[in-house]
Amino acid sequence: AKKGFIFDLDGVIVDTAGFHYLAWKSLANELGFEFTEEQNEQFKGVSRVRSLDILLEIGDINATQDQKDKWLVSKNEEYLSYIEKMTDADILPGVLKTLNYLKSKNIPMALGSASKNAQPILKRVGLFDMFDTIVDGNHVQKAKPDPEVFTIGADELGVSYSDAIVFEDSIAGIQAANSVDMVSIGIGDPGILHEADHNFRDFTEINSTFLDQLINA
């Protein structure tokens, strides 16, 4: 059957996790506590609103909805200031080779990201026209590990869920793909992403033979 490929954005196509970290750290410091890179792990693939709740739990801070809304805006403003400086040099190693190979074979491709900033990021790095459809944080009601972002992507590509192949760097994203029987490919630490069907440290480890196997499975 026809296959479709779905790519997460942050941590798979570009390394924006560091920018999210810096912006959350600024907010934590402003509120009077520390926020470590290790703690940032649990923010990967998680929505902005949920991330703030986790941060406030770490700092043991109670806040009104008005305060939270204000912090969500200031965090995002700082994040956007980092995004503005991105170029195509910020595309992670090996990604372009994979995208171009699939494109040359006319394989349908979707972006499936929790981020509300996915479109401006793709424009900055020159990948906006690479995908047949972009499903991001503006289109979904339910965040990963709910599979909504991926099921909408597969629906828009016109492929059944078991014919969709998902590249993800977060545990929540791998669980989302697995829950609807998509093929899950973990990009990152295989110890952390052990629930994935296949594991790679990054896209430089993925070759055309492997991609052909997925396409022809």
- Give the catalytic positions in this structure: 8, 10
Q: For residue 35, how far is the Cα from the chain centroid? A: 21
190 in Cβ contact with 169 (< 8 Å): no
Q: Assess 120 for contact with ligand G16 (CB under 6 A).
A: no
Instruction: Give 198's DSSP letter.
Output: E
Neighbours of 171 (CB within 10 A): 21
Stretch that binds Mg ion, among 37-45, 46-54, 83-91, 174-182 (CB under 5 A): 37-45
Residues 25-44 that bind ligand G16 (CB under 6 A): 43-44
Q: Assess 112 for contact with Mg ion (CB under 5 A).
A: no
Helix (H) or strand (E) holding 209: helix 208-216
Greatest Cα pair distance in the chain: 55
Q: Assess 169 for contact with Mg ion (CB under 5 A).
A: yes
100 in Cβ contact with 65 (< 8 Å): no
> In angstroms, rounded to a whole number, what is the distance separating the alpha carbons of residues 146 and 201?
24
Stretch that binds ligand G16, among 2-10, 97-105, 190-198, 208-216 (CB under 6 A): 2-10
Q: Which of 89, 122, 124, 88 is nearest to 8 (CA)?
A: 122
Stretch that binds Mg ion, among 30-38, 39-47, 87-95, 133-141 (CB under 5 A): 39-47
Binding residues for ligand G16, rule CB under 6 A, total: 20
What residue number has its CB nearest to Mg ion?
A: 11
**Of the candidate residues 6, 7, 8, 164, the single one contacting ligand G16 (CB under 6 A):** 8
Q: Which residues bind Mg ion (CB under 5 A)?
A: 8, 10-11, 45, 169-170
Q: Which residues bind ligand G16 (CB under 6 A)?
A: 8-11, 20, 43-48, 51, 76, 113-117, 137, 170
